[in-house]
Structure 1
């Protein structure tokens, strides 16, 4: 699914050159420049960085991250000859989406000027450079964006894009167990002869639905020679038929009836988890495909362990409506909520996307969307703790994030690694 973009920014993104070298020797990080050629290229220096020129003076801007946190390394030239970095005073400002400005002062180091501080991801900003050399001041300004796109409010709404503010959340601690769906003991009944004798009549076939009180069989007692009728003890479906007319009714049930709406899930609890799985705990029960899921509660834990596996059995009652998606004998998975802790900052797990080598969410400022690379902590199906890379209160995309990612990738607004 796609939706229209504001093409002005898309065209700008496509025309941007790379800012600086990144992660390899020689420096190879570079962001796209608003003054690049139509092909997206620009003049590269000896260290594969961006060349900024004014008259005979030039700077080569790189971001170096080979074994270190990303940092600026800037090389100065006059008439394409290296200039002693001690003779240059340099400042760089990075204006980020949302209004934050990062400022860098530089000190000489070997044959380059080294920025004081980490160039945090994403490397997406409007850049201002000011250099003073031999009393002359040189200034440049350009845009260098990655992982950014602009979408109108109408297009975002049509594409199902929905946002929330990042903040604290209660993150549950879960134990995942395997199990199966079974009919509860109360949901199964046997139709037996009250007294031994010859079977005169049987009504019912496998899979047939029956009602409580409905005549199921008629038997002539061997002792009194009187015939009596046996009714169905519950509503349900015939799942076993073990006799025929003319046969002799004895200890074996004539029919077995099961009510498919009376279900519970049986989970195998390993010894290491036995102390934490308790009656009353909520559990998310889901099919092996993940298509069907519901929330139930642990109703019982059987006190005896299986001799072979040493597992206990935990039962979770399923509501009557579960029969539409869950059938007896089906394998299921269960997530047992055994605890919860407050996370100072968290995002919806479904909002997480992959971008380059990072897990990201997409921040929104007005009609502009941009990646935020995250350091993550605990994760549950609903929430994921954020340890770094996102400011509290940031508006981020919860639904439709994959559409934002697809549009950014289509525009090619990403790192040149």
Structure 2
């Protein structure tokens, strides 16, 4: 009898019971909790992989064909918006810049002619028709110049440069060079993808969902993403669940957008993803830390006065914090939780000395 309640010890005294004072509890940092109700979360564990955020990744092409004169960056380099990634020698650019020079000279010549004809007309020396023709020629020359300038602008080439044929390929965003498929001397066309630059401040964690779990996974659910290769985890929400199941794999895909300010989550990294699929209130539960195995039975160590007694229990549902107790322990009973393995070790020592 303890605390006006009767308990039946499951083991002989030496076998499953040990004395430990409150002072010893403190020294050994053994945590004592009270068995009672708890919320048990049902979690779904899924496998996933970190992927580039495709919304923040850019495939970079040269807008003109030519020969690569210089490559200024490598895969893995950080780049800023507008930074030169490579330089190309392009006949197309050379031709357009030649057109530009000719158009600029034509405008200069047309302006000189216009100003002269205007003065002659104002002085009543020449006919108005000659003045209007000169005005029209100037306007046409200016339109042609503007057209050539716009053509260069559309290609991302400056209207002036150190070389007539030189064309700089620049990064359109701040980010990291995640793919480089070009080298010096290479002949390229205007459709070749040369670089991929990605903003890694956010990444996607994509998970595979099996058919039986598809109805469990919903957009907006909170998930925990854990790295498989090292100790790192992050919390995010499901942003997208695919509406199609693969014909071969019979799986669907869901995606979480993760903030990645320290570049912890690198594309290609395998991850484990946990989400809470349901939550249940149970009348009696104990901490997972308090559950031990003794003589091939699942036990917790109940606290009765200065003694700990091994109590065989039958468990029901459990999560990473609590386990439901179906038999073997009453609500309100105290038990060892944190560092309960020390009590198991002491009982083991006591049993060994008794056998001798």
Give the alignment's TM-score, normalised by structure 2: 0.71
Alpha-carbon distance change, 253 to 336 in structure 1, aligned in 2, over 3 angstroms = same
Decide whether the 8 Å contact of 1:146 with 1:413 is kept in 2: no
Is 2:17 the counterpart of 1:148? yes
Name the residue aligned to 2:10: 122
Q: Is this contact kept in 2: 1:151–1:367, CA < 8 A?
A: yes
Report what 2:6 is aligned to.
101
Q: Is the 8 Å Cα contact of residues 145 and 413 (structure 1) preserved in structure 2?
A: no
**Looking at both structures, which has the greater relative contact order when contacts are Cα pairs under 8 Å and sequence separation is at least 6?**
2
Deviations 1:8-39 (A, max 9, x none): xxxxxxxxxxxxxxxxxxxxxxxxxxxxxxxx
Displacement of 1:273 in angstroms is: 1.3
Aligned to 1:286: 226
Partner of residue 257, structure 1: 197
Q: Tell me the residue number matched to 2:237.
A: 297
The answer on 1:335 being equivalent to 2:274 is yes
Secondary structure of 1:223's aligned partner: helix
Deviations 1:85-135 (A, max 9, x none): xxxxxxxxxx3x555336xxxxxxxxxxxxxxxxx55236xxxxxxxxxxx
How many angstroms apart in 2 are the aligned matches of 1:347 and 1:319? 35
CA distance in 1, matches of 2:354, 2:313: 16
Would you tell me which structure has more helix in proportion to its own residues? 2
Matches within 5 A, 1:109-188: 120-123=8-11, 144-188=13-57
Structure whose alpha-carbon radius of gyration is higher: 2
TM-score w.r.t. the length of structure 1 is 0.61
Q: Find the aligned partners of 1:365 and 1:407 in 2 and give their Cα distance.
A: 17
Whether 1:346 and 2:297 are equivalent positions in the alignment is no
Change (3 A) 1:373 1:292: farther
Distance 1:213 1:394, change over 3 A: farther
Counterpart in the other structure of 1:267: 207
Taking the TM superposition and a 5 Å limit, the aligned residue runs for 1:75-86 are none
The secondary structure found in structure 2 opposite 1:266 is strand
Please give the alpha-carbon distance, in whole angstroms, between the structure 1 residues aligned to 2:3 and 2:192: 77
Deviations 1:369-412 (A, max 9, x none): 22222111111122211112111122222210111111111111
Instruction: Please name the residue that 1:386 is paired with.
Output: 325
Change (3 A) 1:280 1:216: same
CA distance in 1 between counterparts of 2:322 and 2:57 reads 40
Contact persistence 2:15–2:350 (CA under 8 A):
no
Question: Deviation of residue 212 (structure 1)?
Answer: 3.1
CA RMSD of aligned residues (A): 2.7
Deviation at 1:260, TM superposition (A): 4.0
Aligned-pair CA distance for 1:248: 2.9
Give the drift of 1:347.
1.5
Distance change in 2, residues 1:382/1:364 (3 Å) = same
Q: Cα–Cα, structure 1 residues 150 and 166, in superposed 2: closer, same or farther, change >3 Å?
A: same
Cα deviation code 1:295-326 (max 9, x no counterpart): 322111122222211211011222325843x4
Is 1:316 the counterpart of 2:221? The answer is no
Equivalences for residues 204-243 of structure 1 within 5 A? 204-225=73-94, 226-243=165-182
- In structure 1, list runs of 5 or more residues that go unmatched: 1-94, 103-119, 125-143
C-alpha change, 1:344 and 1:415, in structure 2 (3 Å) is farther
Of 362, 371, 388, which residue of structure 1 is paired with 2:310?
371
The 3 A distance-change label for structure 1 pair 168 and 190 is same
What are the superposed Cα offsets for residues 345-378 of structure 1, whole Å, 9 maximum, x if unpaired? 1122232111112212222345432222211111
CA shift at 1:291, angstroms? 4.0
Gaps of 5+ in 2: 95-164
CA distance in 2, matches of 1:328, 1:298: 18
Are 2:242 and 2:253, in contact at CA under 8 Å, matched by a contact in 1?
Answer: yes
| Cα distance between partner residues in 2 of 1:166 and 1:289 | 36
Question: Within 2, Cα distance between the matches of 1:414 and 1:291?
Answer: 40
- Kept after mapping to 2: 8 A contact 1:288/1:332: yes
The answer to whether the Cα contact below 8 Å between 1:146 and 1:414 also exists between their aligned partners in 2 is: no
Displaced runs of 4 or more, over 4 A: 413-416
Look up the match of 1:193.
Answer: 62
